[in-house]
């Protein structure tokens, strides 16, 4: 029997962005809305969720990710703004956005998608929107949604610091009652100049 691992490809964020995110989460968590906030040490920018991958296929996945990023140059990514998907009025996912470096991160995502497609990983149909998920909203009364929307609107100009993107990481994810745990399975350096 082959064992599978829940897997995703991501960029780890800097301690500076983590610190700013922690402060923003503290402010937003004063809302009466029921939100499961992400622990700051678990924050990362997901480039591609792969789902359950057989362990025997993991070397090919790591090789494909390494090949995808080998010719891309490192870049800076600036965290800025906060919002929610699908909308502020009906939030399900609370996020921190990015401004500087977004074209580079979109290109990184595209390169990874292209290299993983031949291995059977389907390309996303939706446009990639780089973000850090900081919370997931549960069902709430309308006034709680309104309060959270107001707090997020006030954080629209949030400045969250920068991350030097010089590698991507293939992670395993184990879901537990107390929250997920992530383990790096492979590192791929951006090697372009």
Contact 161, 16 (CB under 8 A): yes
If 0-12 CB within 10 Å is exposed, 13-18 middle and 19+ buried, where does residue 74 land?
Answer: middle
Q: At what angle do helices 142-154 and 15-28 cross, to 10 degrees?
A: 140
Cis, peptide link before residue 118, omega less than 30° from 0? no
So which residues are the catalytic ones?
A: 44, 131
Q: Alpha-carbon dihedral of residues 52, 57, 59, 61, nearest 10 degrees? A: -60
For 21, the 3-state DSSP assignment is helix
């Amino acid at each position: 029997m082959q064992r599978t691992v829940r897997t995703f490809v991501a960029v780890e964020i800097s301690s500076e962005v983590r610190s700013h995110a922690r402060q923003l989460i503290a402010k937003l968590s004063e809302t009466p809305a029921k939100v499961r906030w992400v622990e700051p040490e678990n924050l990362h920018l997901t480039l591609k969720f792969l789902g359950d991958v057989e362990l025997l296929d993991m070397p090919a996945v790591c090789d494909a990710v390494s090949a995808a990023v080998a010719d891309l140059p490192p870049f800076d990514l600036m965290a800025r703004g906060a919002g929610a998907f699908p909308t502020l009025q009906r939030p399900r996912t609370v996020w921190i956005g990015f401004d500087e470096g977004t074209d580079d991160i979109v290109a990184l995502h595209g390169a990874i998608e292209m290299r993983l497609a031949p291995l059977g990983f389907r390309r996303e149909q939706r446009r990639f929107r780089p973000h850090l998920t900081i919370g997931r909203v549960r069902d709430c009364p309308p006034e709680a949604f309104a309060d959270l929307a107001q707090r997020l609107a006030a954080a629209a100009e949030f400045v969250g610091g920068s991350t030097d993107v010089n590698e991507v990481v293939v992670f395993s994810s184990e879901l537990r009652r107390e929250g997920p745990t992530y383990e790096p399975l492979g590192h791929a350096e951006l090697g372009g100049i």
